[in-house]
Structure 1
Amino acid sequence: MRTLMILGRHQHTTARPGLIVTGPATAGKTTALLHVGRTCHLAHARRNPTPPGPAHTPVPVAYVLVPPGATAKTLAAEFARYLGIPVTARMTQAQITEAVCHTYHRAGVRLVLIDEIHRLNPRTTTGAETADLLKDLTERIAATFVYAGIDVTTTPLFTGVRGAQLAGRASLVECGAFPARLGTREPFKELIAGVEDALDLRAHRPGTLPRLASYLHQRTAGRIGSLTRLVRHAAINAILDGTERITRTSLDQVRLDHLAETHHTTIRPARPRRR
């Protein structure tokens, strides 16, 4: 992202290069998107401390969620809502877009994160108008655009003339399940260790969750969304019952999302029958 932002910093005549984060549900796309946004915001704050006084605080990062059945006007309104730009029912799409571009420029937005991009369908009239608005915004707002969506390469988003324009301007990053092993490394165990470090349970023993890496990978299929939900749910239960620690038993008591539970049931080894 840092490289893409540098590439687009002095590009004024055409849309800046962007990025698309795609993959299956619960693969960590939104988590990655928000992490990039947070890193960018903190880096900007370190380089440009806000001076004392009534000066407006710069907003280097914007996050927009594509609404279901988005039209060009409702998407423009989402851009406006993020920065608190007043929008009335009487305003036209062009008026909202003009206000968005002006305010984003004044606020110093340098990175725009757009989530749930798979909801756009350029094959429909409404979807085509919305895609055109998005292209217009990428050319008028001096920022790098990053999109995230579920399996976007299999959706209509990359089809037709508008899809070709998007595909020609954005690099693609595939998010998938964390593998249990990758050469000599254990990426999923490393992820678990990071999640455990964020816990604040008085009686939890460090290293408990990494030792359960094989079990946790089986429960969650290596999906970061399912993993964080499982650990957070178990942590809340530990606080409520007063144990203040997570164990294999407490993890077993948590019911996960249907996708993870279905996977777990499918690969769960059968118990030997008693003779």
Structure 2
Amino acid sequence: MTTAYSLSRKQGWRRFTDTPARTRPERMSPTALTRLAPLERAHYNDSRHDWHANFGTIATPQLKQVREELELIVASNRQDSDRVRGAAVIDGFPGLGKTTMANLFARDYDRTARQLGGETTEAGDERIPVFRVGLTSNTTLRTLNKMICEFYGHPGAANGTAAQLATFALDCVLKCETRIGIIDDVHFINQNSKDGLAVSNHLKWLANELPVTFIYAGVGLTERRFFDEGLSGESTALAQTAARWTRLEVASFDRDDSWTGLIKAIEKQLILAKARPGKLVALDDYLFERTGGHIGSLITLVTRGCFKAIANGTESLSRELLETIRIDEAAERSRKRRAAETKKRVRKKEGAGR
């Protein structure tokens, strides 16, 4: 059974870092499935639903590339505290796994840091190698500081001015020997508003004062001119963004071998009684038409499809079943255009084979 927790609190983050990988349920044959007693089948189906929703991360080319870049940036940020460290920003369109990439890298870093340094610092404080917060559309300088304090469970997080909360946050980072700070959803920062400008400048202050490597994640930051804003005119203070942040782009999949490889990897994770190797891969054109190469949309479609296949007893994913499932609106809206592209590609293949 899935347990709810928040990665914006140290307890939830610790659960994320320390919980072992799920045990993969056994794949039963259709005959063995029919022999289960009603309660046994209910428990078995529940374990399969949980598995399909959480079967782990596929090591896509995009994930591997971003991870290598993050390892390089973090490992090379060994400057003394009087020097500013460079930051990384994971940028791309929605549904491409940016947050997952940041979280998984930071999780592994957290585990290694505690293994090497111990669960407590030399001064006896809890070692917390990573903190993580997510911005909202109404984040202000004070609420950003408050969110950092709330991650650590600082008793002063409920009250205090922005300046006081900033001091508390600095104390937490120093005492707990934090080395990575994840700031998610930075696209919510409106650099043209008073609060947005204050938050943007405060991120620079945090980078100056905290001995951590910041990893930011956001949607369409280049298109929003997030890095260009402030390079001239009245907002010249924002020029530091482009100078200090290393942009790591996450691209959607193209309709090529990497897409087919992703489908193959997902197919191996399915626990359906009537699933057959290659059946899902045969739908790779259709799956691209439905999702546009966005891994988030693909996982949603497959997960919901598995739930329905188990619930209605078909125990297999087919185009007919997947056609009954709706996913995110962005994918649905652009489906007609991709369907036309798919037909054109199929006709081209058929023509080449004659």
- Please tell me the TM-score bracket, short chain as reference: 0.7 to 0.9
Structure 1 residue 190 and structure 2 residue 254: aligned?
Answer: no
Match of 1:220 in 2: 291
Q: Which amino acid aligns with 1:216?
A: L
Distance 1:236 1:104, change over 3 A: farther
For residues 254 and 68 of structure 1, the distance between their equivalents in structure 2, rounded to whole angstroms, comes to: 30
For residues 77 and 64 of structure 1, the distance between their equivalents in structure 2, rounded to whole angstroms, comes to: 10
Q: Is the 8 A contact 1:192 1:213 kept in 2?
A: yes
For residues 199 and 142 of structure 1, the distance between their equivalents in structure 2, rounded to whole angstroms, comes to: 43
Match of 2:253 among 178, 182, 204: 178
Cα offset for 1:20? 1.2
Secondary structure at the aligned position of 2:218 is classed as strand
Match of 2:89 in 1: 20
Deviations 1:84-139 (A, max 9, x none): 22345540111111111111222232211111111112222211211121111112
Secondary structure at the aligned position of 1:139 is classed as helix
Root-mean-square deviation (CA, aligned residues, Å) is 2.4
Distance 1:41 1:189, change over 3 A: farther
Secondary structure at the aligned position of 1:154 is classed as coil
Secondary structure at the aligned position of 1:148 is classed as strand
**What is the identity percentage for the equivalent residue pairs of Structure 1 and Structure 2?**
28
TM-score (structure 2 length as normaliser): 0.68
For residues 46 and 205 of structure 1, the distance between their equivalents in structure 2, rounded to whole angstroms, comes to: 42
Distance 1:88 1:30, change over 3 A: closer
Secondary structure at the aligned position of 1:225 is classed as helix
Distance 1:199 1:126, change over 3 A: same
Cα offset for 1:156? 5.3
Match of 1:211 in 2: 282
Cα offset for 1:260? 0.7
Distance 1:11 1:192, change over 3 A: farther
Q: Is the 8 A contact 1:76 1:96 kept in 2?
A: yes
Q: How many residues align?
A: 264
Q: Which amino acid aligns with 1:124?
A: S
TM-score (structure 1 length as normaliser): 0.86
Cα offset for 1:50? 4.0
Cα offset for 1:32? 1.9
Q: Which amino acid aligns with 2:285?
A: S
Correspondence 1:91-240 to 2 at 5 A: 91-155=160-224, 157-158=226-227, 159-160=229-230, 161-181=236-256, 186-240=257-311
Specify the structure having the higher radius of gyration (Cα).
Answer: 2
Secondary structure at the aligned position of 1:212 is classed as helix
Q: Which amino acid aligns with 1:227?
A: L
Cα offset for 1:66? 0.8
Match of 2:102 among 20, 28, 33: 33
For residues 44 and 241 of structure 1, the distance between their equivalents in structure 2, rounded to whole angstroms, comes to: 46
Distance 1:198 1:106, change over 3 A: farther
Cα offset for 1:202? 4.5
Point out where structure 2 has 5 or more consecutive residues left out of the alignment.
1-69, 231-235, 344-354
Cα offset for 1:145? 0.5
Match of 2:49 in 1: none
Q: Is the 8 A contact 2:135 2:186 kept in 1?
A: yes
Match of 2:318 in 1: 247
Secondary structure at the aligned position of 1:172 is classed as strand
Match of 1:256 among 327, 337, 340: 327
